[in-house]
Amino acid sequence: MILSKEEQALLNGEQGEAPRMAMEILSKIGEINEAERLIPIHSVHLVLHAYKSAFDAGVEAAEKIAYMGGKFSVPTTIDPYGMDAEDWRGAKTPEAYAVMQKRLEDAVMRMGVIPVWTCTPYYGFNMPKYGENVAWSESSAVAFANTVLGARTNRQTAIVDICCGILGKTPETGMHIQSNRCGEVRIRLEVDRDLKSWEYPALGYWLGKKLGSRIGVVEGMRGSPSPDHLKSLCAAAAASGSVTLLHIVGVTPEARTAEEAFGGRAPLDACVVNEADLLRTRQSMCTTSGGRAEFVALGCPHYSVHEIRRVHELLNGRKVHPQTAFWIYANRDAIRLIEKMGIRQSLEASGVVLRAETCMIISPVAPWGFKSMITDSGKCAYYGPAECGTDIIFADAAECVEAAVSGLAPM
């Protein structure tokens, strides 16, 4: 790696211990990945956010970097909080867990994080432009940034992302290099209509399994999928596989045509996905069916105002079944807006609980003893069994609402 004079000075510790450590880590990572240099970035999104995944070591590492004087030099946002930010006691969060979560919060706040606590920072707080280099960690947001916005980021990891935030730089590797962004696998979507809502995460799940870390070029997507549809597709693809970038022809800025997406290269592989594949994928995402609806969880990735409003319309004033927990996860800005719109009050009167700034995967839900969870999220379906210890029923948002009202899980 070629370091500039300023970078060499940072590595020599001339600007303090935190930048020195950040330079040491990033230059080593750059060397391993054969990067020639560090490049400037416009923003960072962190994943050292929840005690459930950071554990003691992560909290102590964040505290140490803050103590060393680590300060973010570019706008730096952060993934969801490790517990309900408004009512962690009401969410049955253990006291000892809450203490560690607050220590983690304190450390990243001292470094200057923008405390959005959301996995959808691109909905207003951290929205990179086409072609901009950023260093993000949250896999769903990384896939969205590359695929939908045309920004450039690798899947960063905890601590490395903090180093990027301190230096405002990242090694020039992977997705930051144009020739690495060319499509590799041609995927023909053979569904002769706009996809239904549940088919977007199911397609993402299918793509993740099929592609692994390869770059797919999806042809045949009809209509104009909404940002929320693409969000759910990217999140599922980045969970069931290591998808960082998809070229959806007509959607991805770098894929106005399939030829452009492949960058003049021949595809390495080709496959077809049709309606029956999506239905089979949906069935494979479920580990159980039917029975009592114990826990209905929406908002992975965090629900937008539009999605919460749709649930409100679907519910239409009906009450949630007394034996069912119906929780929606969203960031505090979306919650503030739906409160101003009167929607929060109406949802709560129906028995829906809004869980602020956290999610079902990274906050402790075990104290509730749920045996199964019903969700419209492909990512949640993938991680739920391991992270929440529940069976999963993946369903459309409308079916989730009906399950919450009837108390009966979809078959």
Q: Which residues bind ligand F3S (CB under 6 A)?
A: 79-80, 119, 140, 235, 300-302, 329, 359, 361-362, 379
Residue found under tokens 């707080």: 125
Cα–Cα distance, 280 to 328 (Å, whole number)? 27
C-beta of 39 vs 127, nearer to ligand F3S:
127
C-beta of 82 vs 168, nearer to ligand F3S:
82
- The Cβ of residue 97 has, within 10 Å, a number of other Cβ atoms equal to 18
C-beta of 66 vs 297, nearer to ligand F3S:
297
| 245 backbone dihedrals φ, ψ, rounded to 5° | -145, 130
C-beta of 189 vs 352, nearer to ligand F3S:
352
Q: Residue ranges of the alpha helices (H) in 263-392? A: 275-285, 305-315, 332-340, 343-350, 378-388
C-beta of 75 vs 301, nearer to ligand F3S:
301
How far apart are CB 50 and ligand F3S at their closest, in Å?
8
Buried b (16+ CB within 10 A) or exposed e, 383-407: bbeebbebbbbbbbbbbbbbbbbee
C-beta of 59 vs 380, nearer to ligand F3S:
380
Residue (of 181, 157, 168, 143) closest to 54 by Cα position = 157
How far apart are CB 244 and ligand F3S at their closest, in Å?
15
C-beta of 27 vs 363, nearer to ligand F3S:
363
Q: How many CA atoms lie within 13 A of 299 on its CB side?
A: 31
The alpha-carbon radius of gyration of the chain (Å, integer) is 21
How far apart are CB 72 and ligand F3S at their closest, in Å?
20
C-beta of 46 vs 215, nearer to ligand F3S:
46
List CB contacts of 64: < 8 A, sequence separation 6 or more: none
How far apart are CB 365 and ligand F3S at their closest, in Å?
12
How far apart are CB 312 and ligand F3S at their closest, in Å?
20
How far apart are CB 264 and ligand F3S at their closest, in Å?
34
How far apart are CB 119 and ligand F3S at their closest, in Å?
3
End-to-end CA, the chain? 56
Do 382 and 205 form a contact (C-beta atoms < 8 A)?
Answer: yes
3-state secondary structure of 392: strand
- The Cβ of residue 313 has, within 10 Å, a number of other Cβ atoms equal to 11
